[in-house]
Structure 1
């Protein structure tokens, strides 16, 4: 077999990795040329995508050669499992051999090749398609609840500083109807719904979602793009369905979709593989395959202008709330929270809050950390422990600058030039108040 021909075919496969027919032809040529290990790699890639590909199975069997189990006699009938044979050196005694139940017999292909044995022996080459403990159902068949995804939040809305408007929207849309079932029934108010939280990073969108779950004593499931996306076709959609099924099974439940702009990006800007994930998300939000009553969807994003418009239509994420940097009372509460376990003396929270306008909650946490570093540095230098003072806090405020300015610079363009529908009116009003024009 010409190495030049094989190399040319390998280059073609590298240029077209999804062409399984071409890859199978290359694997067959490699086997014929005595290059079994290389053929195994290509056959394994084919079987990972098409487990039932008979041609790839045959190539794998030929490539493995002498390591394969013996082929059964002609006619496809194997010797009775209880048959007594003369033991060879090192072989198992006849009395130790027992008939294996049908469910434990190795799965064989049409050629009689023992694929279960090969999967175990060559797991590093052809990894098992599914990993599960004995007795567990196949995870592909039906929903296997992932308990580690379900949490119980210990924080409530009382732990959230400020955000009065956001709390009001949550009370009207979900928390109030949940606490008053008779009133909910009278007005025909459904417990399903969705709320999109948007704003600069570090302003408490994730913390707020946990507080909602804690307020209602509900389960909390946080979903990010890493929980969903998978390289195999169809797996991402199945992961998304499983997570929604878990939320339905634990209703009442708050399902938090973090960074929704990554998971539900505009389909016009996506490749076909990601479009199907967005379509699946739309289907799950509609609850076509299962009712979403008792499932309240909270989504968060720093870039709502990148979210697919279909996700924001009525019945899905139909309510949008701008989560702004904390106001002065909220900043005082946040500063007090982050200083609660630190040695402080003479801290004027009102003065520090006045010096930290437009700071996000994450900025304020970093400010407290920086002030603690100042005090610790002096304590190490002098050998005498001192407490965190007002001077440390104000010095940290001069060093740590608000991180929200960059976000508002981008949001300004959206509010000025892409607000025909009025969905960013609250953002435009805030920018006007801050005189960011």
Structure 2
């Protein structure tokens, strides 16, 4: 048998994997050429699609037969495929060649891959060591958190008297890099509660229904570790407005998130949901109705004292001399916490570059810090440009009044 012909047919089968007659013809040629192992694979692929295909069963029997028997009775094997196939233990064959083609059906608990492709998820449950005392500035935010979460937790008698539930949701929004994630960890540390952080990559899965199950598993884990702070980062990606979604799969994910926030299948007592976003105007309105993420807090860039505190924190392990924190803070208005970290990194690069050039190590000084402040631009400007349009033209309900007030104050400076 010509190997060139077999190679050509193999290429054709690879190009048309669902052409079963072509695949069977290739298997026949492979059996005739004494290449039984390759023929078995093609016959098994045909049987996985057409379990009752007699020709494929006959070829499987022929391929499994010893070479001598295969040569002695080729005609008989072709004439009586049903009789020979009847003598084959197909269950044993399926077990033996399970690595070639998967079984047609699978049961829960089998060693094979689950049909849905779902894998059991385990979420990292942390114990935060930071508290609100470690958060620079944000006085108004801390007051709001005290009323919403921390006060009722510390005063169970008053909580019972006023009928305050230990469930709730808070949406943190503001420009990127202003410490929303750090603030959520600090809330967990202040409460002595477990902390679970979730991003969209922890939820979304290509298998239908798996994303919804991931969300359910997440909330079940939080309920099992109550009191627990459940932090949903980038909630606008996970809970985007359904009217703007073209994917039906993403709409069902949003629906599942609404169900979990309501605690329909399991009570959310002791589960504090904190969500963060840079684009609250893209969050589905149903997520923000009472009983879900019903409280909203604007997390703004740090003020002067907070900027000085953040700069001092990022310089604590670096060699510095003669740094005027108040002057640097005054030169970095509208900088986010991430911008200030980058500022300190840039100033350190200046000092290190001079140390390499001169061969003499010098400290980071005030000139380095002010030079870095001129080079690094605040990343919040682009966000406030978008936010200004929202506050001016999309604030009919008044939900962005605090943002509008801040923008008015910011413009007057």
1:301 pairs with one of 250, 268, 277: 277
Q: Which residue of 2 aligns with 1:255?
A: 230
Q: Which residue of 2 aligns with 1:84?
A: none
| Higher RCO (C-alpha 8 Å, min separation 6) | 2
Whether 1:431 aligns to 2:382 is no
1:30 Cα deviation after fit: 5.1
Contact kept, 8 Å, 2:61 with 2:85, in 1: the verdict is no
Q: Which residue of 2 aligns with 1:183?
A: 158
Whether 1:241 aligns to 2:216 is yes
| Cα distance between partner residues in 1 of 2:317 and 2:109 | 44
Whether 1:199 aligns to 2:178 is no
RMSD: 4.0
1:383 pairs with one of 325, 341, 359: 359
> What's the secondary structure of 2:341's corresponding residue?
helix
2:20 pairs with one of 16, 25, 28: 28
Please tell me whether Structure 1 or Structure 2 has the larger radius of gyration of its CA atoms: 2
Q: Which residue of 2 aligns with 1:327?
A: 303
| Cα distance between partner residues in 1 of 2:164 and 2:119 | 29
Return structure 1 stretches of 4+ with deviation > 4 angstroms: 56-59, 61-70, 73-78, 113-119, 129-134, 142-145
Q: Which residue of 1 aligns with 2:149?
A: 174
| Cα distance between partner residues in 2 of 1:68 and 1:227 | 46
> What's the secondary structure of 1:34's corresponding residue?
helix
| Cα distance between partner residues in 2 of 1:298 and 1:431 | 25
1:33 Cα deviation after fit: 4.6
Whether 1:112 aligns to 2:112 is no
Q: Which residue of 2 aligns with 1:310?
A: 286
1:162–1:112 CA distance, 2 compared to 1 (3 A): same
Describe the superposition over 1:218-266 as per-residue Cα deviations: whole angstroms up to 9, x where unpaired.
1111110000000000111111111111000001100000000000001
The structure carrying a bigger helix percent of its residues is 2
| Cα distance between partner residues in 2 of 1:57 and 1:347 | 80
1:31–1:167 CA distance, 2 compared to 1 (3 A): same
For structure 1, the residue ranges without an aligned partner over 5 or more in a row are 12-22, 45-52, 79-110
1:281–1:234 CA distance, 2 compared to 1 (3 A): same
2:198 pairs with one of 219, 223, 226: 223
After the TM superposition, which residues 256-275 of structure 1 pair with which residues of structure 2 at under 5 Å, given as runs? Answer: 256-270=231-245, 271-275=247-251
What TM-score do the two structures reach when normalised by structure 2?
0.78
How many residue pairs align between the two structures?
367
Q: Which residue of 1 aligns with 2:350?
A: 374
1:151 Cα deviation after fit: 1.0
1:285–1:385 CA distance, 2 compared to 1 (3 A): same
> What's the secondary structure of 2:214's corresponding residue?
helix
| Cα distance between partner residues in 1 of 2:354 and 2:279 | 42
For structure 2, the residue ranges without an aligned partner over 5 or more in a row are 1-7, 31-37, 66-83
1:57 Cα deviation after fit: 6.9
What TM-score do the two structures reach when normalised by structure 1?
0.74
